[in-house]
A and B are shown apart, each in its own frame.
Chain A
């Protein structure tokens, strides 16, 4: 929440303190546990898509992004768009926690008339900076928010865009990538949740996207890679790229993650992209998540 402070972009003084790391681990745990609770209401959902991104969500919303609690429309805020909108079930608890909407809304997740569905809807959910559901649009949406800085005078915010690795197969992603480089969208920071799986199976078996870093570099982007579950490293890197005033290009972080991280059988068994935990399995999953030291 506080944004990056101290240090220089090119130095190495963005390391979070142990207190911050402990807080972020706890928030990532909160995201996973709330995801299980909400999907229990819907009886089906994308557990594993959230679990691979939980540390990144925590780092962004509880440390790196410049936000104001209870003020989701603040013009100077950092923005977030997400291509893998099916992970929204992990974002809604964060938004409620940040005071963007009443926590009671969560209890009615996916019920008739609820603003909260499987995908994030900016018309209905305060805190959603852009709707998502059709994979491949989010990077273009984020680019627009960066380009708009030319005409609004709000020049300090950053726009973060999380995409899935399967999303790299969408042509529009690369239209946006080549445009962002051409327009020197330096305030655009993309994060790829490289969890290795998509609905039909392993990403690189279905449609190989490697060498991913070389592709982005060739498109004119600054490329970083990080262990997406090492919340200290994720936070440090995000703080650094957010603060970097010397960068003239857009920046992408390839976060190496594990689909289903935190629940052993979800990490090893394919087919958990979309699913439902019956109460006894949910109990085991909750126990594993509580024991997890990310």
Chain B
């Protein structure tokens, strides 16, 4: 067990960045350290899954392995934060948002500690690992916790930008990220502002408001529909909380219909947040909330699941076309 790593091993490929992996998480943290921010990182036996092994290799003194003790990891991070150090702690979103929910509420959010919670492999991105490893409830749970920001980046560069922006954000944050294989949306380094949406396209028939991995598919779907003469806009709502209400209201004033797309239950997530804004303001626009329709996902490789649940570009397009037909 202590010999040299096989070039085919997961650890070797992680250590040597042979996999695309989640390099962006470590890259963002390394940037923060280089900029002089007093941050540390920790994980619960998943450093090769979330790519924090790269951060640990760069700054071994700033990385803590917590073993498989997610609840302890978050409560410990809160204790660290009281002393003026900003902790980033990462594990699968399914465990972070559900298993550790109470520690997040009491020790992090209510206690107002600037802990950065990184829930990775969210949604159904763990495919055939099954429901224990899927997180289709985390947005709903986390956004109902007061004083906790919820960020769902579309890709790695946006995650890095959000991590950099977090240096000036003094409240706790839940980052909801995928498995590091999301197609790139932002080819040039994006900026990230808490509470601000990123509008990619304006549309009169429909505006798609998406987050996370769904942004790429939504853009492809909208581009294809627009090439066919339709008028479809796309907004990336990476910052689910604090929510950019103005962006939603502006889209609702311009477009006849609104559709939300998320790798999450259609209850309580981004679609729920958008519905709340429209209802609050008495906007009579038709809304389609697309995602996982209040069920547990089948087992399959992730790409097969995205096709099955119409969360890839073709699926989003078919749902959008049916909605505005």
Contacts and interface: CB of A to CB of B under 8 A. Distances in A.
B69 A179 contact: yes
B67 A145 contact: no
Contacts of B62: 151
A163 interface: no
B116 to A, nearest CB: 14
A167 interface: no
Nearest to B102: A134
A133 B77 CA distance: 18
Interface in A142-157: 142-152, 154
A140 interface: yes
A152 B81 contact: no
A195 interface: no
A273 to B, nearest CB: 21
Nearest to A145: B79
B27 interface: no
Contact of B79 (A75, A133, A134, A143): A143
Contacts of B69: 172, 175-176, 178-179
Interface string B93-112: 00000000011001100111
A131 B106 contact: yes
Nearest to B107: A137
Contacts of B103: 134, 137, 140, 172
B67 A179 contact: yes
Nearest to B69: A175
B83 A143 contact: no
Q: How many B residues are at the interface, by size bracket?
A: 20 to 34
Contact of B76 (A144, A149, A171): A144
A27 to B, nearest CB: 26
A183 interface: yes
A144 B112 contact: no
B112 A140 contact: no
Nearest to A142: B79
B39 to A, nearest CB: 8
A154 B84 CA distance: 11
Contact of A140 (B72, B84, B87, B102): B72
Given A123-B112, A133-B106, A145 B82 contact: yes
6 contacts: A122-B82, A131-B107, A134-B102, A140-B78, A140-B79, A152-B85
Q: List 7 tightest A-B contacts by C-beta distance, closest first.
A: A144-B79, A140-B75, A148-B83, A175-B72, A175-B69, A141-B79, A144-B76
Given A140-B74, A145-B82, 10 more contacts: A130-B79, A131-B107, A144-B78, A144-B79, A144-B82, A152-B38, A152-B84, A172-B69, A172-B103, A175-B71
Interface of B: 38, 40, 61-62, 64, 66-67, 69, 71-72, 74-85, 87, 102-103, 106-107, 110-112
